[in-house]
Amino acid sequence: MNQLAPSTHKTTLNAKQLKLLITIYAFRFVTIELTAHYKGLTTNAVYKSFSILLDQGYIARHFDSSYKLRGKPATYFLAPKAFKVLKNEQQLNQGILRSRYNDKNVKEAFITRYLLVFKLCLQLKERFGDSFDFYTQSDMADHDFFLRPLSYAYVTFDQSKQAIAHSIIEIIDSSMPPFVIRKRLLQYIEHYQSGAWDETNTDYPTLLLVCDTVALINKIQRQATKLLNQAYLNEDELFIKVIVAEELVWSV
């Protein structure tokens, strides 16, 4: 009986591979191009690294024939094998890791929101350089003063250079039912009124609602204003700004 040839692939991760897994952990869903831009690497280098991680079962991807027809890149996410490795990284939030177990079954609109967060991070980095800090859900999870369920991102700015000190980013798209959007806005109002943010000794952040279409902006702005009025709040207390993604980097 013939013996199986030993695998030529490494079964342990090197430091660079681990850092790539942590990047995916931070942003949840990534593409080769976005990752290359974020890490300062070539797309070819990231492609090779992702191919190895995919082959070894540390990451998985969403990709089928429809992606190619639409010119849509494959999106990568952590696979179960990666969870075992990352559980040993003490700085990583275990709750966030558990929340990723079902990422192979999520809908495309869900993935698109997280890719948008990654793009916004890169765009802000290009404009502001070192004068801002970007926190993803994986960063926010360790702090109780953030709203649950967590916002998509939290951004702080160097106040010597920017008028806005900090902002919470919430992604809203046309696929969301109106009652879901309304419920989310009410959660922010209740969070503001709860005083949970007071422990930070800072004003409540500007709430940036990032929409996928211009048509959605006016609708969401009217709804937000109505809910604020019903809660007897004004913009000096809870400032809500509704924009499209392309305008975000010029709105802070």
Tell me the per-residue pLDDT of 51-68, one tens digit each, with 9 for 90 and over. Answer: 999 999 999 999 887 877
Is residue 155 one of the residues assigned to a domain?
yes
Q: Check residue 148 and give its pLDDT.
A: 97
Is residue 50 one of the residues assigned to a domain?
yes
Position 250 pLDDT exceeds 80: no
Position 86 pLDDT exceeds 50: yes
> Do 192 and 240 fall into the same domain?
yes
State whether residue 102 is helix, strand or coil: coil
Position 11 pLDDT exceeds 60: no
Structural domain ending residue among the three candidates 106, 133, 149: 106
Relative to beta strand 166-172, strand 153-157 is antiparallel
Is residue 5 one of the residues assigned to a domain?
no
Rounded to whole angstroms, the Cα distance separating 224 from 228 reads 6
Average pLDDT of span 239-251:
77
Is residue 3 one of the residues assigned to a domain?
no
Q: Check residue 60 and give its pLDDT.
A: 97
Q: Is the peptide bond before 149 cis (omega within 30 degrees of 0)?
A: yes
> Do 163 and 230 fall into the same domain?
yes
Is residue 1 one of the residues assigned to a domain?
no
Is residue 57 one of the residues assigned to a domain?
yes
Position 10 pLDDT exceeds 50: no
Query: Residue 47 belongs to what domain range?
Result: 15-106
Contact 224, 208 (CB under 8 A): no
Counting the structural domains of the chain, the total is 2
- Provide the CATH number for the domain around residue 39: 1.10.10.10
Instruction: State the pLDDT confidence band at 246, using cuts at 50, 70 and 90.
Output: confident
> Do 183 and 205 fall into the same domain?
yes
User: Could you tell me the two tokens for 179?
Assistant: 């009652």
> Do 96 and 126 fall into the same domain?
no
> Do 184 and 237 fall into the same domain?
yes
How far are the Cα atoms of 126, 149, 166, 190, 229 from residue 183, in angstroms, in the given order? Answer: 34, 12, 23, 10, 16
> Do 24 and 95 fall into the same domain?
yes
Is residue 10 one of the residues assigned to a domain?
no
Q: Check residue 78 and give its pLDDT.
A: 97
Structural domain ending residue among the three candidates 58, 82, 106: 106
Instruction: State the pLDDT confidence band at 16, using cuts at 50, 70 and 90.
Output: very high
Q: At what angle do helices 15-27 and 43-55 cross, to 10 degrees?
A: 90
> Do 126 and 218 fall into the same domain?
yes
pTM: 0.89
Average pLDDT of span 207-213:
92
Structural domain ending residue among the three candidates 106, 135, 151: 106
Position 174 pLDDT exceeds 80: yes
> Do 154 and 171 fall into the same domain?
yes
> Do 156 and 209 fall into the same domain?
yes
